[in-house]
Structure 1
């Protein structure tokens, strides 16, 4: 028992550290785009690709990650992804290697996104929401810190290359903590053989989870890309707008820690999913149509950030709650993220185009509110107590919406 407890403790620590490095290498880029653009002579389109390329990598490599895990196991796949992330961060900071490193960073994080829910499902089936909320909160906190400290670090370290490259140190810490898991290959006494379930393309429920995943990701990345600009065009000072983005991420951390409690107490996830979509829609609407003062804007930002934090935990939990084992969890996660991040990658571009065509934020904000409405419908459908199969969804027992061992076959 002590050996098993120590192993579980190491797995939890490893999952939290993987979560910690799962967004920071991307959020640290935004504040430094102006420096990168000036140093490398990038066009506006190329600068935008710095934030879009990782999302496209998420979409493509989400389909590849389960295949790798099926061959070498979840543990070794995540270890390989950590090494790839550390290498990508370093390479990204080298002369002429910006795009190669950025692609490697996106590929590594795609593996985290797909495979971590499978680890949680397999090793902690009765604690899915708690551990999902824990690593989501860790991810949000470190992402906020990365965004807020990027410019000061660049000034202290001597440039954007060092500020971005420094995150490789935290990744190496994660590698060190994850090393004990690497002895578990595709099959061992401690881990059963990893089966690779087919992607559930023909399952309506899988598409409902996918729709929820895509729309919540689109709303999040649109806000990350355009919230400061929207606020500045409404008269909010640039410094205040920057702090509002930080406040939004902080509110998402509170939601990350709150949602697991709600998931355990409710029979399914329909109301929680619809509620987070309502928070996002109301917050976005408030940003456009509430009286434009810093106080009202902050209130709207907090509501939106809380809704986005709720949506992330619900979405990641659904990958486990709508499947019966870790291989099915990885398959559903791969499908939902491949399609979802492709949709998310288009969001900032389309919203920016609507802003340019309409000449104001009214039409783009209305489009985002409509997206939040569709997200609520998808959440209500995906939140039912059911399990994904290739052909259709199969109802589970009434208690299956709770995080109990009855979810397992």
Structure 2
């Protein structure tokens, strides 16, 4: 059976669709990762233990990204790295998120989700350990390996949440989101104290391999045994998505808000240090900004989903984020904590709105999964230009004023795309179930 999905206007939510829960908003990839009847964790592993290890794994998905910005000044001083090299260093992990995230669903179907998570956790730990060696090749290698691991696990984790906690998916997704933010805050806020404690910034960066190893050890008991009779999920072909204007508006909105976020991840600590804050205060300020994303990511989608469309909310939240960033760049240092919190609220809300538009612009979960994959692959590639352009602009001009213009321009472009993505419409695609092949496998 082939289903035509039109791109007509929908009055508020699509007909027959209730307001999405937080789980619905954050878990569009779940269907591609595990069949609903797929194997859960082995018998005897309690749900509370699964919740603990899921949180620990999730915390590990951000320190590799947020920790480097804390010691950029020391890294450039001790390695003689140019601004161009540092720009590459802050750009590569974002590129890897998009490129390797696309490989996650087929890897999970071939080897099992839990096994892929275990291997990538260990790969992440090995990559982070390379940061003990402060030279070009180890730093680049570490960045690529860690970024690839984060990209793969980041796609797989939501599916596990939806499968293992079907009755508490909203709660666990909120916990998962908070764990991500907590990991980002830890990386930004704890790296400088660790560098002082170790008297070595490479050791502080490599330290984040330790929680990855711990997560892998605790993850091991959750790996299920393979079953020969495990049913395979039904696969669907979705055609027309890459030619649809609305799909591109959702994709570009997702990518542009990510671009703004990774400018902050990669450079805000250094910006605040150049303005006069000491390294520890700058790290704690950005850490607080990341933590402020938590309530915004929880509340904004709930409010936005109740509206006929999301255009007004997108403009409001992007404006809040812009005000916060401009405050961090130009407001008196005595008020920078306030502006950092405002920035965090804007970025957390933008992230949630991007995920929400993927769900609301999709008529069913099959389309949502494909639209999410499109938005991730293109969006992260686009987002990678943000940290790179920031470093180059500062190198060319010797001032952060040019970065303010960049941030303003990207925000305006994001608003323009958001006005399209926020309309109450569906993408225009065709959904066709693929024939199932009967195979006998002992794998």
- Output the CA distance in 2 between the equivalents of 1:374 and 1:184: 48
Q: Deviations over 1:184-214 (max 9, x none)?
A: 669865x753748669423434322221221
2:408 is aligned, of 347, 365, 369, to 369
- Output the CA distance in 2 between the equivalents of 1:239 and 1:225: 16
Aligned counterpart, 2:154 = 113
Aligned counterpart, 2:106 = 67
Q: Indicate how the Cα distance of structure 1 residues 165 and 348 shifts in structure 2: closer, same or farther if over 3 A, else same.
A: closer
1:336 aligns with 2:382: no
Q: Secondary structure at the match of 2:384?
A: helix
Residue pairs, 1:233-272, within 5 angstroms: 240-259=281-300, 261-262=302-303, 269-272=310-313
Q: Indicate how the Cα distance of structure 1 residues 272 and 133 shifts in structure 2: closer, same or farther if over 3 A, else same.
A: farther
CA positional deviation for 1:82: 1.9
- Output the CA distance in 2 between the equivalents of 1:323 and 1:69: 25
Q: Indicate how the Cα distance of structure 1 residues 275 and 250 shifts in structure 2: closer, same or farther if over 3 A, else same.
A: same
Aligned counterpart, 1:306 = 345
CA positional deviation for 1:68: 1.9
- Output the CA distance in 2 between the equivalents of 1:171 and 1:162: 15
Residue pairs, 1:34-73, within 5 angstroms: 34-73=73-112
Alignment TM-score, normalising by the size of structure 1: 0.77
1:193 is aligned, of 197, 210, 233, to 233
Aligned counterpart, 1:406 = none
Q: Is the 8 A contact 2:238 2:430 kept in 1?
A: no
2:315 is aligned, of 269, 274, 286, to 274
Q: Which has the higher contact order (CA 8 A, sep 6+)?
A: 2
Q: Is the 8 A contact 1:281 1:304 kept in 2?
A: yes
1:159 is aligned, of 186, 200, 208, to 200
Q: Indicate how the Cα distance of structure 1 residues 99 and 257 shifts in structure 2: closer, same or farther if over 3 A, else same.
A: same
Residue pairs, 1:94-133, within 5 angstroms: 97-120=138-161, 130-133=171-174
- Output the CA distance in 1 between the equivalents of 2:237 and 2:119: 21
Aligned counterpart, 1:146 = 187
Aligned counterpart, 1:90 = 129
Alignment TM-score, normalising by the size of structure 2: 0.72
1:80 aligns with 2:119: yes
Q: Which runs of 5+ in 1 are unaligned?
A: 393-409
Count of matched residue positions in the alignment of Structure 1 and Structure 2: 387
- Output the CA distance in 2 between the equivalents of 1:273 and 1:74: 34
Q: Is the 8 A contact 1:117 1:329 kept in 2?
A: no
CA positional deviation for 1:123: 5.6
Q: Is the 8 A contact 1:70 1:194 kept in 2?
A: no
CA positional deviation for 1:176: 3.7
Aligned counterpart, 1:202 = 243
- Output the CA distance in 2 between the equivalents of 1:89 and 1:75: 21
1:168 aligns with 2:209: yes
- Output the CA distance in 2 between the equivalents of 1:182 and 1:383: 40
Q: Is the 8 A contact 1:214 1:343 kept in 2?
A: yes
Aligned counterpart, 2:364 = 324
Across the aligned residues of Structure 1 and Structure 2, the Cα RMSD in angstroms comes to: 3.8
- Output the CA distance in 1 between the equivalents of 2:261 and 2:199: 31
Q: Indicate how the Cα distance of structure 1 residues 223 and 79 shifts in structure 2: closer, same or farther if over 3 A, else same.
A: same
- Output the CA distance in 2 between the equivalents of 1:331 and 1:8: 30
- Output the CA distance in 2 between the equivalents of 1:269 and 1:127: 26
